[in-house]
A and B are shown apart, each in its own frame.
Chain A
Amino acid sequence: MAEKKLLNGLDVEEIETALNILRAQPDRSNAPKSSRVRWTSGLQFKAFVRNHVFLVDEPAHLTGADESPNSVEFVLGAYGACLATGFVWIATRRGIAIHNLEVVLDSTQDNAFTFIGIDPPDGHGHSGLDEIKAKIYVQASADEQTLREIWEQTLKTSPVGNSLTRTVVIEPEIEIIP
Chain B
Amino acid sequence: MAGNGLPLYPVTVVGSWPRPTWLLEALRKRQAGQISFKEFNEVADKAVLEALRYQDEAGVDIVSDGEQRRDNFYSFVVEKLEGVKLMTLADIMDLVEDREGFDKILRSMDAPAFSIRNPTVVDKIKPRMSLSMDEYEFLRQHTHKPIKIPLPGPYLLARSMWVKGVSDAVYPTQEDLAVDLVQILRDELIALRDAGCEFVQFDEPVLTDVVFNAGVKERTFMCASMSASSGDPSKELIFATRMMNSITEGVEGIRTGVHICRGNWSRKDDVLLNGDYEKLVPTMMGMDIDQFVLEFATPRAGQLAVFDHHRKQREIGLGVVNPRTEDIEPPEFIIEKVDEALDYFEPEQIYLNPDCGFGTFAERPMNPAELAGQKLRTIVEAAEQLRAREG
Residues of A within 8 A of B (CB): 99-102, 104, 106, 137, 139
B23 → A minimal CB distance (Å) = 15
Residues of B within 8 A of A139 (CB): 114-115, 363
Q: Is the CB of B114 within 8 A of A102?
A: yes
Which 3 interchain pairs have the tightest Cβ spacing?
A: A137-B112, A102-B112, A100-B114
Complex CA distance for A106 and B104, rounded to whole angstroms: 11
Q: Is the CB of B28 within 8 A of A102?
A: no
Q: Is the CB of B113 within 8 A of A102?
A: yes
Q: Is the CB of B28 within 8 A of A104?
A: no
Q: Is the CB of A99 within 8 A of B28?
A: yes
Q: For residues 71 through 120 of chain B, which have their beta carbon under 8 Å from a beta carbon of chain A?
A: 90, 106-107, 111-115
| CB closest chain-A residue, reference B114 | A100
A151 → B minimal CB distance (Å) = 14
Q: Is the CB of A137 within 8 A of B28?
A: no
Interface flags for B18-45 (1: CB within 8 Å of A; 0: not) read 0000000000100000000000000000
* B: interface residue count bin: 10 to 19
Complex CA distance for A104 and B102, rounded to whole angstroms: 13
Interface of B is mostly: helix
Interface flags for B171-207 (1: CB within 8 Å of A; 0: not) read 0000000000000000000000000000000000000
Q: Is the CB of A100 within 8 A of B107?
A: no
Complex CA distance for A101 and B363, rounded to whole angstroms: 14
| CB closest chain-B residue, reference A99 | B28
Instruction: Tell which of B90, B112, B114, B363 has the most Cβ of chain A within 10 Å.
Output: B112
B81 → A minimal CB distance (Å) = 25
A167 → B minimal CB distance (Å) = 31
Residues of A within 8 A of B113 (CB): 102
Residues of B within 8 A of A101 (CB): 114
A9 → B minimal CB distance (Å) = 14
If A100-B114, A100-B115, A101-B114 are given as contacts, then 17 extra A-B residue pairs at C-beta distance below 8 Å, sorted by A number, are: A99-B28, A100-B112, A102-B90, A102-B112, A102-B113, A102-B114, A104-B106, A104-B107, A104-B112, A106-B107, A137-B111, A137-B112, A137-B114, A137-B115, A139-B114, A139-B115, A139-B363
Residues of B within 8 A of A (CB): 28, 90, 106-107, 111-115, 363
A123 → B minimal CB distance (Å) = 34
B70 → A minimal CB distance (Å) = 18
Complex CA distance for A7 and B16, rounded to whole angstroms: 34
| CB closest chain-A residue, reference B363 | A139
B224 → A minimal CB distance (Å) = 16
| CB closest chain-B residue, reference A141 | B25
Complex CA distance for A99 and B115, rounded to whole angstroms: 11
A162 → B minimal CB distance (Å) = 25
Residues of A within 8 A of B111 (CB): 137
| CB closest chain-A residue, reference B107 | A104
A41 → B minimal CB distance (Å) = 24
20 pairs from A and B in contact (CB 8 Å cutoff): A99-B28, A100-B112, A100-B114, A100-B115, A101-B114, A102-B90, A102-B112, A102-B113, A102-B114, A104-B106, A104-B107, A104-B112, A106-B107, A137-B111, A137-B112, A137-B114, A137-B115, A139-B114, A139-B115, A139-B363
| CB closest chain-B residue, reference A103 | B112
A117 → B minimal CB distance (Å) = 27
Complex CA distance for A101 and B90, rounded to whole angstroms: 11
| CB closest chain-A residue, reference B28 | A99
Complex CA distance for A69 and B250, rounded to whole angstroms: 56
Residues of B within 8 A of A106 (CB): 107
B315 → A minimal CB distance (Å) = 40
A6 → B minimal CB distance (Å) = 15
B193 → A minimal CB distance (Å) = 40
B106 → A minimal CB distance (Å) = 8
Complex CA distance for A102 and B90, rounded to whole angstroms: 10
Complex CA distance for A101 and B88, rounded to whole angstroms: 13
A76 → B minimal CB distance (Å) = 13
| CB closest chain-B residue, reference A106 | B107
Residues of A within 8 A of B112 (CB): 100, 102, 104, 137
Residues of A within 8 A of B106 (CB): 104
Residues of A within 8 A of B90 (CB): 102
Complex CA distance for A101 and B114, rounded to whole angstroms: 8
B185 → A minimal CB distance (Å) = 32
B368 → A minimal CB distance (Å) = 14
B32 → A minimal CB distance (Å) = 9
Complex CA distance for A75 and B363, rounded to whole angstroms: 32
